[in-house]
Amino acid sequence: MLAFFGLGAIGGSIVAPWVQRHVHAKVVIIGAFWIWAAGAFASAVIQTPFGLGAVWAFGAVFGPVFNVTFASYRYALVPDRLLARVGSAALVVAWGAIPLGQLTAGFLLQSLGARDTILALAAAMVAVGLAATASPSVRSAPRVEELLAGEPAAG
């Protein structure tokens, strides 16, 4: 599974700069959350290792794409004098969530079992996808080029 995931992530790293330049950030952000939610649901029902590996590889493509797009957007939005502080805060939230997620997964695995834990993760990903889709600030986000040019936000 790690090899499939790694291949997907390498593929995502290769296409991420192109995607960042050609696909609107709101499409990448919202789309990645929905793809990861679908992948979590698929992981709960797929029985074969190669089928599961394919799902993981496909989902892993969107990690680097999401990260490059989100970071580019943050760099365009945040004033230069605050970039280090905002970047540090973003890393504290992102990396700080990892041990909490692992702890939660351990408790869920112990109490619910593997399949129901994966379904709980999928439900949480659907909630994140719904929140991103419903968020006016995500839906009406301007393109990075507009932020860099100082143009007003367009829907």
pLDDT of residue 92: 93
For residue 37, CA distances in Å to 24, 33, 85, 125, 152 come to 20, 6, 31, 5, 33
Per-residue pLDDT tens, the chain, 155 aa: give them: 899 999 999 999 999 999 999 999 999 999 999 999 999 999 999 999 999 999 999 999 999 999 999 888 888 888 889 999 999 998 999 899 999 999 999 999 999 999 999 999 999 999 999 999 999 988 888 888 777 777 554 44
pLDDT of residue 137: 86
pLDDT of residue 76: 86
pLDDT of residue 151: 54
Calculate ∠ Cα 27-55-73, nearest 5°: 25
101/94 Cα distance (integer angstroms): 11
Q: Say which CATH architecture domain 2-149 belongs to.
A: Up-down Bundle (1.20)
Sequence ranges of the domains in the chain: 2-149
